[in-house]
Structure 1
């Protein structure tokens, strides 16, 4: 696509496309998300989008500067799908757990798009709303600003990292995915205790655990750590000793 975008007030088509629909930014984003799911990254072309929409490809210039601009809109839509369903309760740990699990699930529903978007910063409305929402949850819970930002950073990066990792597995060809799943039972569960005592001892648990995403457990670890840090902020320990004793000087 080119670098020109028609101002918002001039975008609406006066006539429907060949398929009888009126173009809109939302329609283009939804179509792009569907095409990425069906055909992967290669689907995000002006020609394919135009054909799917029944519109001249040049009409897309009225909404997006180029395909990367459209990809950022797709990324923001995935965030929006989570936010439109999220209902905070006021319990910060439960709210972050719910939000994280919802974000992860929404990315897993669109693994091909997740691979393309998890590392992107959109700067768009839904992403801004998400940042505001998460920081609001943390600051309302009593986290000082610097601590709230750190927890936000870890929470979001962890969620997106697992979303991309798990999406990569879901995006594998069926044969490769089946082979990976079978490796835990076919290889690891059969290793002898004499050569691999720790794997053999934990094999049943290992096979069961590695067959599912590690994100829920990792999320609980982050939330537990955040809870401990909040407790430390609320109940600070005694001040360090003063004078020569804290200078670290020894005899001589």
Structure 2
């Protein structure tokens, strides 16, 4: 559809289905309009509109979809909803990234990060368990966003069986301000650290796909949805009122 974006074969399938539905709707609507307007002077105008309107709706849908794809990809750092790649920003330049599968994700900034405070590089701070985030945290199956912290649970079995990666630490807290992370072997240890950090929310991890849905869709997406639905419905309502009244 547009250059520079990842392609998803489902787009073609959706377009084909939309065109088939539009042709069927056009045929049915044309027959109904002919029956209602066969004695009108401008019957041909009504018939032409009835035949073309469903196809024009498909074109309108494509334009609105293209608009949201360009804006989301280029300006909002979100995926364009046309590929197997899912991404959305979370907090402080950190984002969630999924490719092909939606049961685990990578969390990070997409580039190597160093601690923002030079004091945190000292050996005394590293002994407390906090380490540089580097490129992020991989194989995250569940997570929670609390203030400037990302609380992550790792799918160790998936990492080992599918990707042959050994992830011995199952839980992490990521400090997105200082670009540091700390691993935990038990959930209780993570909860204790959260209390020390002053996090007020109860630790309640959610699947990454739920977190993605929460942060991916913005007011802009809902405006695009309304732009697609409301204008065609308004035009269709006016058309049918005129067709019935003559």
- Fold-level similarity (TM above 0.5): no
Larger radius of gyration: 2
1 or 2, which has the higher helix percentage?
1
1 or 2, which has the higher strand percentage?
2
